[in-house]
Amino acid sequence: MGPKRMVIIGAVASGTKTAAKARREDPDAEITLITEEADISYAACGTPYFISDIIKDSSSLIIRTPDYFLKMLNINVLTEHRVEAINPGGKDIAVRNLKTNSSAFLPYDFLVLATGAKPYVPECEGVESGNIFTLHNIKSAMRIKSVLQQKKIGHAIIVGGGFIALEIAESLMEYGIKAHIIIRREHILSHIDKNIALLVQNHVRAKGVHIHEDDEVIKYEADSEGNVSKVITKKQTLPAEIVVLATGIKPNVSLAKNAGIAIGQTGAIQVNERLETNIPDIYAVGDCVETTHMVTGKPVWIPLATTANKQGRIGGINICGGNDTFPGVMGTFIVKVFDWTVAKTGLSEKEAIRNGFDVVSVIVPSHDKPHYYPGSKLIIVKLIAEKGSGILLGAEIAGEGVVDKRIDVVSAALMGRVTAGQLSKYDLSYAPPYSSPMDPLITAANVLRNKLEGKIQSISPLITKQKLERKDDFVLLDVRTKHEHDKGHIEGSLHIPLNELKSRSGALDKTREIITYCGVGLRASQAHLLLKTEGFENVKFMEGSLLAWPYAIEK
């Protein structure tokens, strides 16, 4: 028997990783990487920073060249080659050389699909006009950057409100362009809970980006040269010299589908823990595959470079006769949005509810370092746990301070199915340049535990707002100082400063619901405990209070 023939289709993250790992596992294998693109092994996630010119040279996004693969790893790379069909019976594939238009059959012993994902562009009149782009690889980033550098753009439209849309909006600011973002929903980052998402949205707006929510493009109009000039939406007509469609992506599965490879309920390729498809000796890795959400145990499609790299490694091991497994994902996500970082891991509250969990959540703002240490900044931590068991289900964290560290710790905690109480005992690192003696995560875990144990009663700003809109009968009590109250407060608030609350509590009606609030939630919490001590039974504090209140206040 000669050396094993391994063919990998797709050569960005997971494909190149599979090939490189297979080479380390099996020095003798014949390994071929095939891609339709001219570039391989590039950092697609870096393209927004190339557009903004934080990264000057597109070549610095390329990690490895075909030449490196050939010379250093003895891996044959076929760029600008399209695989047109897989023949599982004969164990070969039909490959067309896009440069010569010739085609040939290539035999394999093991085949790995790393076909990735492609932009999803909703059908729309005029969408084929000039200067309407998607951003999905280095080539598309170069096209966008070239338009931005060639002419002064007055009006840019971004369709979609996911993290790519936000990264592009920020990139455009580097060119002095205040972009218009058009979203169908009521807030950006639709997989994040509304309360946190609205706070991020306020930050994006404060930076000068126009966000048009509950809207949708119905037509793109072009000028005489065929370039986009206007965007007509359900609600308005906006001028546009450039449009970026960040309307999502879809897994690239047509090749797999045509070969009889099973597709999962998410629309991506179904694989087992070993990343094997339903067809023997055919594996699939990266953005084209469906995986398991480790909190719910259900199939999800969350294509990310981290997963692609991990899966590539596993694919490489397994096609060489090893046995490695991919347990699934936590759906960990992070994005820099101007001065804020926004991150999530596990389930959002709405996802937890949708998955049948009985949920308790808290929103707890804290400084990321001690107040006295220079550069200390706020972050807002939302923790979501299962009622009863107290087992953590997820977290959302946002703000100017250090977010990534805390979300990674929660992701690690979710792996162990720990409770809020267990998280509160974590031995996290502390010195003033890095954290507080009580890390924001420990503080949030303690607040969540208090809520789970019924020691405190609290309510989110979002639900408080809904109660105000429904004109529910309750007292909204501002416990800040008179000076703070006079500078701005929620319309309809009663005002009693915390230090007068004990003496003046007699003036409050014990039969009515009371919701206390302050600046960040601390005094509001103290006030609600004080009122409970005074015999008030239906009293809650507003979590995060005005800091987490995403709506207008009265001045």
What tokens appear for 105 in the block?
Answer: 């059959």
Query: Whose Cβ is closer to a second copy: residue 195's or residue 341's?
Result: 341
Query: Whose Cβ is closer to a second copy: residue 445's or residue 459's?
Result: 445
Token pair 């449009």 is found at 243
Q: What is the 3-state secondary structure (H, E, C) of 69-108?
A: HHHHHCEEEECCEEEEEEECCCCEEEEEECCCCCEEEEEC
Q: Closest distance between a second copy and the C-beta of residue 91, in Å?
A: 27
Query: Whose Cβ is closer to a second copy: residue 309's or residue 481's?
Result: 309
Query: Whose Cβ is closer to a second copy: residue 122's or residue 437's?
Result: 437
Q: How far is it, in rounded angstroms, from Cα 52 to Cα 161? A: 18
Choice among 45, 124, 288, 518 that is catalytic? 45
* Cβ 34 vs Cβ 78: under 8 Å: yes
Query: Whose Cβ is closer to a second copy: residue 199's or residue 308's?
Result: 308
Decide if 45 is catalytic. Answer: yes
DSSP-assigned letters across all residues of 344-397: EEE--HHHHHHTT--EEEEEEEEESS-TTSTT--EEEEEEEEETTT-BEEEEEE
CA distances from 353 to 331, 348, 388, 415 (A): 16, 9, 15, 20
Q: Closest distance between a second copy and the C-beta of residue 202, in Å?
A: 21
Query: Whose Cβ is closer to a second copy: residue 71's or residue 185's?
Result: 71
Q: Closest distance between a second copy and the C-beta of residue 134, in Å?
A: 19
Which residues, in sequence order, are CB contacts of 528 under 8 Å at separation 6+?
456, 457, 458, 514, 516, 539, 540, 541
Query: Whose Cβ is closer to a second copy: residue 113's or residue 498's?
Result: 498
The 10 Å Cβ neighbour count of residue 264 is 17
Q: Closest distance between a second copy and the C-beta of residue 258, in Å?
A: 30
Q: Closest distance between a second copy and the C-beta of residue 208, in Å?
A: 20
Q: Closest distance between a second copy and the C-beta of residue 213, in Å?
A: 24
* Cβ 192 vs Cβ 340: under 8 Å: no
Q: Which DSSP helix (H) or strand (E) runs through 68?
A: helix 66-73
Q: What is the CA radius of gyration of the chain?
A: 27
Q: Closest distance between a second copy and the C-beta of residue 430, in Å?
A: 5
Closest by CA to 508, choosing from 486, 534, 469, is: 534
Residues with catalytic roles: 45
